[in-house]
Every structure is written in structure tokens, then in C-alpha cells.
Amino acid sequence: MLRRRFAFLAALALTAPFAAPADAQAAAQAGASAGASAGAQDLMADMHRDVRELQKKLIDLAKVMPESSLDWRPSPAARSVRETLLHVAADNYLIPVMMGAPAPEATKITSDFNTAVTFEKQRLGLAQIATELEASFVHLHKAMGLTTASNLNENINFFGQTWSRQRVMIMTVTHLHEHLGQMIAYARSNNVTPPWSR
């Protein structure tokens, strides 16, 4: 009798994982869906956090660069200090155009890439550049708010290509890190220690 009972329990243990009740399966699917949604929302929260940390470093660095360094460039074909900082501001307006957030009219930046190039060629001083950077990051965060957990996989037209909103967001953040690294190298080449490294 005991042997029969153990055999029944053993068989039940072997088959149980493959025969979950419908309610349990539905609950598991709902949990997975909620987890994915929360994960996507966490992704956007992390994106905003990362951009906030990066923008502080970039703006702090812009404020300590000497005015005399603005036209410095490592080679004739490379962007100058001024152009690099304004390039970041320009792209903080240009990329959001693709997300569905037009740039402020005063910037004159549209979906035409040349308008961003014109913006970065302005002959501004460091104080003006820092102000432009700050305003551009405010705009970027608002535009980033258009991408949420529910539309990360939505495709948008990104400069003639089809990209998901998630891909655009990842590219936006990596682009900013690329230019922060560039500005750190520019600063060091001009004997400027980044404020957070002192």
C-alpha cells in the first residue's frame, strides 16, 4: 500500500510541472507582462538619470574651459572646442525632431541636418555656450518623455531609416557619451582638469 502511494506521488511530481492549471499559467503570463513593462519603464528612468549625470559633467567642463581654447582643435579636420559643445546642443534639438518634438523656433533647427550644422558654427562665448547647452538638455529630457514603456518598440522615421524608439534612445545616450569623452580629451590637451577629477 505504501509502495503504491509513493509511486503515485513520484508520478505526480514528474508530471506536475508540465500540467500547470490554466489560472496559474494566466497569472504567470500577467506577471511576466507586468515585469516587462516595469523593466521598460526602468530603462527610461535609467536613460534620464544617465543623461542628467552626463549633462552636469559636460556643462561643468564647458564652464571651466578658458575662452582662449574655444577655437582649439586637435587637427584641421576635427571640430573645435566651441563647435563640439555647440554640436551637442544642436543634436539635443535635432534628434528630438525625429522623436516628434520640434526644436524651439529660435534655434532654427529642423529635420534638415544642415540647420544643425549652421547652429554649431555660431561664434558664441563660453557663457553663451553653457546657456545653450543647459536649454538644449531641458528640451532633450522633454523629448525623451515621449518614449515610454508602452511605445519602446514603436518604429519611427529616423533620418530616412526605420528605427525603434528604444534604438533612438540608446543612440542618443551613446552619442552624448562620445562627445563627453571627446571634451575630456580636449580639456586635458588644454591643461584643464575636469572639475569632477580634482
6-23 confidence digits (pLDDT tens) = 444 344 344 444 344 455
Q: Name 190's Cβ contacts closer than 8 Å, sequence gap at least 6.
A: 65, 66, 69, 72, 81
Q: What is the mean pLDDT of residues 101-113?
A: 96
Which DSSP letter does residue 44 get?
A: H
pLDDT per position as a tens digit, 60-76: 999 999 999 999 999 99
- β-bridge mates for residue 158, sequence order: 161
Sign of the dihedral through C-alpha 168, 174, 180, 182: negative
Q: For the domain made up of 45-197, give the CATH fold.
A: Four Helix Bundle (Hemerythrin (Met), subunit A) (1.20.120)
Categorize the per-residue pLDDT at 38 as very low, low, confident or very high, splitting at 50, 70 and 90. Answer: low
Q: Would you report the helix, strand and coil content of the chain in percent, each value rounded to 5?
A: 70, 5, 25
Kindly give the interhelix angle for 165-189 and 81-99, rounded to the nearest 10 degrees. 170
| Domain boundary assignment for the chain | 45-197
Q: Name 11's Cβ contacts closer than 8 Å, sequence gap at least 6.
A: none
Calpha distance 143→97 (Å, rounded): 8
pTM of the entire predicted model: 0.79
pLDDT at 3 over 50: no
Strand spans (E) along 27-166: 155-158, 161-164
